[in-house]
Amino acid sequence: MTVLVPTMGALHKGHQALIKRARSLSKEVVVSIFINPLQFENKDDLEKYPRSPEKDIQLATLAGATEIWLPEYEEIYPGDISKLSAGPLGQIFEGKSRPEHFDGVVTVVNRLFEIVKPTTAVFGEKDFQQLAIIKAMKSKVEIIGVPTVREFDGLALSSRNIRLTEQGRVSANVIHRALAAAHLAPTVAIAQEIIDTTLATEPAFKCDYAAIIDENTFEFANETTKHKRAIIAGWIDGIRLIDNMRMGEGR
Ligand code: PAF
């Protein structure tokens, strides 16, 4: 049984949690490190994406990776690229702000699966919409989601966090504050109001969306929705940050 942990490098404790989970399932854990240009709609974001291959190899090995694979572009995309579509779920929320992002994600994930042929693959819940889209690919690979790892103040670990200024890093915890404050609210409307008012307390946070959705369909939640999840995205210092939390269940 081979378990694949696809990454774009700049590994942190969140990735290590994915690798540890993979290792709990199998003695064969492949960690791929490939910055996929197809999923970056913004050239600047691609250029500035942090790169730390030596540290990545150390962190992946310490977490239990048995193979660390850093493919070249040509290995992933030999010849013409036939881009896959992420479907309607790829067009909303993250997909609306980042056109073609999810098409790029499903294309690379499909290639990684074709090459590695894993039985199982592990992804983080921080990218909750990505996880849902990959599950919807309906490949033969079993997809496992792993809960988000957070900093001491609740900020979700992300490779982009190191690009925040000192002040931006402090401001960034408003996202988790909003989620945590709302997660036990008695109604969807009250939860939404708590999120909106909490986010508004931090002028440095430029909100893109903050919504409470049905976590299976990504439609806006109402009182009858069984599994509700709040999803938030925005920018601090021009750096995009996203996070989410199951409503009724704080972390
Ligand atoms: O979540 C990521 O790091 C990337 O989107 C993934 C899944 C490795 C595909 O490039």
Instruction: Write down the pTM of the prediction.
Output: 0.96
Rounded CA gap, 222 and 73, in Å? 44
The C-alpha torsion from 219 through 224 and 227 to 231, rounded to 10°, is 40
Catalytic status, residue 15 = yes
What domains, with CATH codes, occur in the chain? 2-146 (3.40.50.620), 164-240 (3.30.1300.10)
* Pocket lining: 158 vs ligand 1, CB cutoff 6 Å: no
CA of 168 to the centre of ligand 1 (A): 24
pLDDT of 251 reads 42
Tell me the pLDDT tens digit for each residue of 114-133: 999 999 999 999 999 999 99
* Section 233-241 average pLDDT: 96
* Pocket lining: 8 vs ligand 1, CB cutoff 6 Å: yes
Pairing status of strand 120-124 against strand 142-146: parallel
Indicate whether 48 pLDDT > 80: yes
* Section 62-83 average pLDDT: 96
pLDDT of 32 reads 98
Nearest CA to ligand 1 atom 8: 7
